[in-house]
Amino acid sequence: MEMMQMISDFIEGHIVMSDDNFKLKNEDKIFELGFLDSMFALQLVGFIEEKFGVDVNEEDLDIENFSSVNNIAAFIQLKKESRDG
């Protein structure tokens, strides 16, 4: 599955809202939508590490890195490139 789709599916799977037809946009600021709880942030870090094989360390804790599907995908890509040289 494409990276963006995997990220989007993961986030949508953690949104609690009554509208089953809600569709996340890749540019949506996910933490500002108000549908995600505080535990999600740590789960997202775990998801990124597990699914994409990159380590998220303290230097990566820039809120922007995790703020939208687009930014998460860009962050993962950057980490992969850095890891693989």
Partner 1 sequence: MDKAGISGSIIEEAKVFAEKEIAPLAAEFDRAGVLPRYVIDKLAEKKFLAPNFPVEYGGLGLDPVSYGLFTEEIGKACCSTRSLITVHASLVGETLLRWGKEAQKERWLRAMAEGTKIGAFALSEPEVGSDAGSVKTAYRRGGGGFIVSGRKKWISFGEIADFFVVVASEAENKDQKTTNDDADSEGQEVPGSRTAPKKRKVSVFIVERERDGILARRIPGMLGCRAAHVSEMEFKDVAVPEENLLGKEGAGFPYVAGTALDHGRYSVAWGGVAVAQAALEAMVGYARQRSQFGKKIHEFQLVRGLIGDAVTKTHAARAMCLKAGEMRRDGHREALHETAMAKYFASEVALEVASDAVQAHGGSGCSQDYPVERFFREAKILQIIEGTSQIQQEMLANFALRKYHKKVPGTFLQG
Instruction: Identify the residue among 8, 11, 52, 68 touching partner 1 (CB under 8 A).
Output: 68
How far from 9 is each of 14, 16, 61, 81, CA to CA, in Å? 9, 13, 22, 23
Instruction: Identify the residue among 5, 9, 63, 78 touching partner 1 (CB under 8 A).
Output: 63
Instruction: Identify the residue among 1, 38, 81, 84 touching partner 1 (CB under 8 A).
Output: 38
How far from 69 is each of 13, 78, 84, 85, CA to CA, in Å? 13, 14, 22, 24
Q: Which residues contact partner 1 by CB under 8 A?
A: 13-16, 18-21, 25, 27-29, 32-34, 37-43, 45-47, 50, 57-64, 68
